[in-house]
Structure 1
Amino acid sequence: MNTPDTPISDAELIKSLGGPTKLAELLGYDKASGGVQRVQNWTTRGIPAAVKLQRPDLFIRSVVTAEAAPARITGGVAVEEEGAQAR
């Protein structure tokens, strides 16, 4: 089982987001223009960094799980808040 700190492959991430067809829809790619095939290719080649940065809500796990562990940024490093309770 993967925890928020455990890296997963891009192929696993695509599968967890509903597969290539669903992810292509979420990203607004046109099926008729090869959008699903583009996303399917990422299962082998990896998701381009530019795409991950354009949609951090889908791809950057630390952003997605940030509410689970409140933190503050100190000198560019996230530091757990004292007394923060797990939700």
Structure 2
Amino acid sequence: MVRRRGIYEVEILGKQLCCTLCDGKMFHHREIYLDLELPKKIDREQLTLQSLMCKVCSTTQLVQEKTDGTKTNIVYIEVKT
């Protein structure tokens, strides 16, 4: 598991992520790795989720990070508190 130290504002697909409970905009981060059990037709694959915990209310949101060459759907902006 990888943990980014610090507090981040996060953009997903170019839009700022807001907490669904309190509308907070600062998050703690960690990655979660899951092995998916898929139907036999499809190979087993590992899913990497980004766990983002709101700094204000501790609500956790999970987002799957996808990369396309050098582009990614999630951008982390470290903020000083």
Band of TM-score, shorter chain = under 0.3
TM superposition score normalised by structure 1 = 0.25
Query: Over alpha carbons, which structure has the higher Rg?
Result: 1
- Structure showing greater relative contact order (alpha-carbon pairs closer than 8 Å, 6 or more residues apart): 2
Q: Which has the higher helix share?
A: 1
